[in-house]
Structure 1
C-alpha cells in the first residue's frame, strides 16, 4: 500500500547555533514534538542523521534518506554556526493520521507560535507526495516537490492538505471542503 511522504521546510529568524532563549525554546519544543509525533498512529518514520547530530544538517550522513537538500530560495548559511532552517522528512500511512498529528496537541501549540521562530517567506512550508511502500523518500524529493508546489501549484506528486490527491492521482477534496477522505482505494 502506498505511503505518504511529508517534507517540511522553514527559514528561522536566527541560526540554530544562536544561544538566545528563543532558539533554545525552539529546539526544546521541537524535540518534544518529535517524541510525541513518533508515537502517533499512522506515523511510520522520519529522516534522522546516522550519527544523531542535529547541529550539522548539510554534512550529516542521512543514510537512505539521501543527501540533505534545501529549496533554491533558502539563502542563509550552511555551516553549523550559521544554518537558520528547520526541515523534516517523514513517512505516514495516510492523510488523516498526518493531519491529526500535525493539527492537534503539542505540534498544534508549536504551529500557533511558528512566527516567533520562522520568517514569513511567501513560499510553501510543506509538501506531500505518495511513495510505494518499499521506497524511502529523499531530501531532494522533498525539495523538488516543494519547489514544484511553489512554481506550479498542487499536483499528484506535490500537494497540500487543502489540495490533496489520492495515491492514484485523483483529487481528494477541494479546499475547505469537509473531512479528509479515506486514503486507500
Structure 2
C-alpha cells in the first residue's frame, strides 16, 4: 500500500546558530512539536541523522534518507554558523493523518507564529507525494518535488494538502478541513 511522503522547507529570518531569544524560542517549540507529531496516529518516520550528526544538516549521515539537499533558490548559508533553514522529511500512512498532525494541536500553534521566524519567499513550503510501501523518500526527492510544485503546480507526483491526489493520481474530491487535535 502506498505511503505519503511529506517534505517541508522554510527559510529562517536568522541563522540557526543565532543566540537571540526568537531563535531559541523556535528551537524550543520545534523540539516539542517533533515529539508530539511523532506520537500522532499515521506517523511512520522522519529523516534523522545517524550517530553523532544530530543537529547537523549539510554533510551529515542521513542513512536511507539520502544526502541532504535544499532547493536551488535557497541562498543563505550552509555552514553550522550560517545555515538559516528549517526542513523536515517524513513518512505517513495516508494524507489525512499527516494533514491532521500539521493543522492541529501544537503544530497548528507554531504555524500561527511562522512569520515571526520565517521569511516569505514566494515558494511553496511543503510538498506531498506517494511512495510505494518499503521505499524511503530522499531529501533530493523532496527538493525535486517542491521545485516541480513551484514551477508546474500541483500534480499526482508533487501536490499540497489543499490540492491533493490519491495514490492512483486522481484529484481528491473531499476537501481537507482544519481542525481536530494532535
Q: Which TM-score applies when normalising by structure 2?
A: 0.94
* 2:154 matches 1:154: yes
Q: Aligned residue for 1:96?
A: 96
Q: Aligned residue for 1:11?
A: 11
Looking at structure 2, the residues matched to 33 and 53 of structure 1 have their Cα atoms a distance apart, in angstroms, of 20
CA contact (8 A) 1:51 1:60 kept: no
Looking at structure 2, the residues matched to 113 and 90 of structure 1 have their Cα atoms a distance apart, in angstroms, of 22
Q: Aligned residue for 1:125?
A: 125
Q: Aligned residue for 1:183?
A: none
The alignment covers a number of residue pairs equal to 177
Looking at structure 2, the residues matched to 18 and 36 of structure 1 have their Cα atoms a distance apart, in angstroms, of 25
Q: Aligned residue for 1:35?
A: 35
CA contact (8 A) 2:37 2:101 kept: yes
CA contact (8 A) 1:56 1:79 kept: no
Name structure 2 gaps, 5 residues minimum: 178-182
Looking at structure 1, the residues matched to 10 and 69 of structure 2 have their Cα atoms a distance apart, in angstroms, of 13
Looking at structure 1, the residues matched to 101 and 2 of structure 2 have their Cα atoms a distance apart, in angstroms, of 19
Q: CA deviation at 1:162?
A: 1.2
Q: Deviations over 1:17-73 (max 9, x none)?
A: 001110011111000000000000000000001025443200110000000000000
Name structure 1 gaps, 5 residues minimum: 181-185
Looking at structure 2, the residues matched to 115 and 93 of structure 1 have their Cα atoms a distance apart, in angstroms, of 29
Looking at structure 1, the residues matched to 96 and 54 of structure 2 have their Cα atoms a distance apart, in angstroms, of 29
